[in-house]
Structures are given as structure tokens and as C-alpha cells.
Amino acid sequence: MTNFVEELRWRGMLHDIMPNTEEKLNEGMTAGYIGFDPTADSLHVGHLTQIMTLIHFQRAGHKPYALVGGATGMVGDPSGKSDERNLLTNETLAKNLQGIKDQLSRFLNFGDTGNDAVMVNNADWLKDYHFLDFIRDIGKHITVNYMMAKDSVKKRLEGDGGAGLSFTEFCYQLIQGYDFYYLWKNNNCLLQMGGSDQWGNIVTGTELIRRKDSGTAYAITTQLIKKADGTKFGKTESGAVWLDAAKTSPYKFYQFWLNASDDDVKKWIRIFTLKTKAEIEALEVAHDAAPHLRILQKALAEDITIKVHSEEALETAIKTSEFLFGNGSLEFFATLNNEQVMEIFEGIPQYQIAKTDLENGLDASTLLAEQTKIFTSKGEAKKLIQGGGVSMNKEKIKDGSTVYHTANLLNNRFLIVQKGKKNYFLIIAD
């Protein structure tokens, strides 16, 4: 058994901890849980801190419980939010729960013995709990004054929007508090963990346990991850970075971590990998000696892509990166289907042409200036081509009169134009 709290501490993950929690954990195997809100059928990188917390918890010899909020997902948590969330239908909720369960199973060892992880759904104990019974049995132990004092409630009540806070969301902390009580009572779950925005909800649970059964429970929260430039972690121009390959391709997932700033990556490699302190410090020395090689970014991106997807997915992501930004071959491109091609070139300028236009052949300057408008004029196209600055399908175009036919189409549909080193364009012939 290792010191779980110390592991969080040196990795820069620890935010708040209730007194005596560390001492209690060091006494022996302890059950603890983290809740996951099923707002979508996939988790995203914003959830990875909590997933890593559970991994560290299990590796330290403790018993992790992963709670999926089948009941609370129908209510909505006001913590860290400025607006009330849309409520979920039963069908959507069931789909989301299954997706989250499948993903968590990739990170934790689930089973029935020792410190095997256990997955629970709060709908199992809340769905048949009648409202009047709940407010009689549970509500009487927590005062409105206590609930109003929570930051998550005060911020919503004092918000500029004037929308306030519905009774539905106001009750959330009481329901989450009961989750903790239930797991404490029935599963000997002594600890609840979560992000720092969950502190108020978590301590409501410890307070309920104290007031209702004179019991003792514990709490730990982790740092909310922020990017050094002030932008939100886990968001890109195209939206959230999902753990589901169908929502965020392994290539885009890999690129998200590869593009981390030096300031961010030195924090993230501690949080999102299981590398030891010595391994990380060695990587930092190598990185600082040659920052342009992006040693830390590559180590982080490779580690987490394998963990979330697979080694095969990582290999494809690396080959895709090499194809776009290095000396990758056209043979690799031939292994991609149309959907994968469109994923790779998402956000890159695309032009549609008729395949019949290529049957008789088109010279490069006409194709690039008239058919697609990659260049504003034939003269501009010819000038840059003559300077050796334009490539078609990874080969330099020799001159503006070079003719292209349907035989030049990759996968019988695509032409890849490269202007300079980094400016890509995709021509789609249908």
C-alpha cells in the first residue's frame, strides 16, 4: 500500500482535503468514490483528472467506486455553471450511462474481490424513493441556511443573468449528499473525491452522515485544470475533446496533447500519466535541452493516446501527423477510408470539383486558380509553382502546365495540395 494523498500532492493534483483523511487512508484499504454526470454518451478530457484519481486510488491499494448519476443526471448540478442544464430523457440517459461504463472499464480493474473497482448507479437507490419520504428522512437533517451558504448556490443566485437557481438544481447537493450517505451506510465507502468545484456538495454528504448517523466520512478534491493562456482546458475550436474515437478521432486526440504549450505540458504529464517522478524529471531535462524536439509533448501524447485508445490508434495518429507535417508516404493515405480522410482534413480549406473535369486533364494553374480558387490568379499560381513552393500529392509541381487526370486522384477521389510547408488544401472530385 502506498500513500495516495502524497501521490496526488507531488503530481500537483491535490486541492482540498478534510482533516484526518490522509491518516485514515494510511491505516489500510479504504473505499472511496467519484461521481460522473451522464450528460453525454462519452466522457471527455475534462474527466481525465477524476479518472486518473481513481487509477491512483486503486494503485495505492484502495477500493474505488465509480458512481454514474443515472438519477442525478435527470436533475443537474449547478456547480461551476451559469445556466440551468437541459434535463435528459430516460432513453438518452440509458445510452449515456452505457457509454460511460464502457469507457471507465478501460481504466480501472473491475471485479468482485479485494480492491477491485465497483460501478454503481444512483438510480438504483433513488428511483423508487418517494419525494415525501426523502424530505422526511433526509431533508430534515440539512438546513436551508447550510445549503444557501455553498458557493455554487451563491454564485448562481448572485449572477448577472438574473435567471437564478431552480428548486430542482438547488436540491442537487442534498441528493448528492444522500448518495454519499447511502454508499457510506451500505458499502462502507468512507471517502468521496471530485473536482474542487464539488467541495460544497461533498461536504454536504459528510455533514449528512454526521447529523443522521453520527458517522465520520472524508473528502478530497483535485485541482481544476486550466491552460496557461487562460483558455478552457479540453476545448478546441471544434469543441470538446472526447474519449470516444467516433466523436474525436485518435489523430485529433493525439494532436491536442502534442500541441500543448511547454508551461502546460510540464503540469499535464504529471497529472495525466503514470510516469514516476524520476521518469518525468529525466524527460524535463531532455526537453529543456532541446525544446524544439517537443520531447515532453510527444511523451504525454503517446502515453495518453495508448491509454484512451490503443497502440494501433497511436500508430495511425503518428503516421497521419507524419503524412501531413513530415515525410509520410502516399501508401499510408491509401489505407484510409473517406471518413478518415475527412476527419484528418477537418478545418482545412476544401474545394469540390467534378470528376468529369479531370477526365480530359487539367493543367495545374487552371486547376488551382480557376477550378478551386486556391490561388487568386493563374499568374500567382505559376509564380509560386516556379519557385518550388507548391506540391500535389506530396510531389512538387514542376510547372503550371503540368496536367492532372483522374488517374492522379488518391483513393479515386482526392487531391492534396500543399502551399509552402504548412498550408494544406483538399480537392474533392465527385
Catalytic residues: 39, 44, 47, 81, 85, 176, 197, 232, 235-236
Closest CA to 117 of 180, 34, 38, 46: 34
The torsion defined by the Cα of 392, 394, 395 and 399, in degrees rounded to 10, comes to 30
The residue with cell 484512451 is 308
Is the distance from CB of 220 to CB of 8 less than 8 angstroms?
A: yes
What type of residue is 310?
A: S
What is the spatial distance between Cα 424 and Cα 414, in angstroms, rounded to a whole number?
Answer: 13
Any idea what the Cα angle at residue 42 is, between residues 156 and 199, rounded to 5°?
35
Which residues contact residue 149 at a Cβ distance below 8 angstroms, ignoring those fewer than 6 apart? none
Cell of 252: 485529433
State the SS3 of 253-281. Answer: HHHHHHCCCHHHHHHHHHHCCCCCHHHHH
What is the spatial distance between Cα 231 and Cα 156, in angstroms, rounded to a whole number?
Answer: 22
Compute the residue count for the chain: 430
Residue ranges of E strands in 290-429: 350-353, 362-363, 390-392, 395-396, 403-404, 414-419, 423-429
Is the distance from CB of 415 to CB of 427 less than 8 angstroms?
A: yes
